[in-house]
Amino acid sequence: MNTTQQHLTTRGQILALREEGLTVREEVDQEICRNRLRVYATALIPGYDTGDPKTILCLFSERRSRPRLNTRDEDTAIIAAIQNNPFSNPVVIREALHLDVCAQTFRSRLHEAGIQHRVPAIKERLTDQHRTGRLQFAQQYVGEDPEFWSRVVFTDEKTFASSNHGKIHLWRPNCTRYDKAHIYEVARSGHVTLNVRGYISLHGALTMTLIALFWATSNFSHCPSDSVLRAGVA
């Protein structure tokens, strides 16, 4: 028995109590009258007593949801548009498709299709030079033993930068955060930036020491390993 059928059954039980001569207050005190079903006893029973046709129709009919404002073809077009451009928004696509529906209806259709509003993963846009360099590094050191790697420090940089746009959002299904189409790639620019570096080695994470010196990538390759292991540099 679904929820609607349960409600219809409960309404019938309430009316049966009324036919037995119970007052509205006595009906409300019954076990079957819980939560919002109390409305049927306190608001609809008086209309039932007078034979009001609208009240009787409400008591014995299933609730009907409002008809959809758009067609299935329009629903399909909405989903296809957001899949082709996940970083768009309901207002832009609604205008592009010339749909006479509100933004909330647009969002509801996407939610029904399992597409959610999320913040994208962000990474720096890699060039062919970046990819080639990483591959060459892996090929150069693929045969080194643990003793070699115990003297190596890995460092990564997090850049906080200003931008000419606000927070970026997108629409995507769950568990697809790192799909290529759902990653927002950014290129380094002349905006204000703040760089923070983290370090780790085979021995664990290292303590960072902030020094008033800019370290380019080339500086690390010539830095004595002992000094780097004693303190990180940023």
**Residue 86: per-residue pLDDT:** 92
pLDDT at 115: 93
* Distance (Å, whole) CA 7 – CA 42: 15
Q: d(Cα 117, Cα 67) in Å, to the nearest integer? A: 25
**pLDDT value at position 151?**
87
Which residue in this structure is represented by tokens 């002992």? 226
pLDDT digits (tens, 9 = 90+) for 58-117: 555 545 556 677 788 888 999 999 999 999 988 888 888 888 888 888 888 899 899 999
Which residues share a beta bridge with 117? 171
- What six digits make up the tokens of 165? 């746009």
Report the 10 Å Cβ neighbour count for 64: 6
pLDDT at 212: 42
Specify whether the CB–CB gap between 41 and 16 falls below 8 A: no
Number of Cβ within 10 Å of residue 108's Cβ equals 14
Instruction: Determine phi and psi for 202, rounding to 5 degrees.
Output: -65, -20
Coil, strand or helix at 183: strand
pLDDT value of residue 234:
35
β-bridge mates for residue 156, sequence order? 198
Is-contact 96 144, C-beta < 8 A?
no
For position 225, what pLDDT does the model report? 45
Distance CA 94, CA 102 (A): 8
Residues (pLDDT < 50) of the chain are 36-37, 62, 211-214, 216-218, 220-222, 224-234
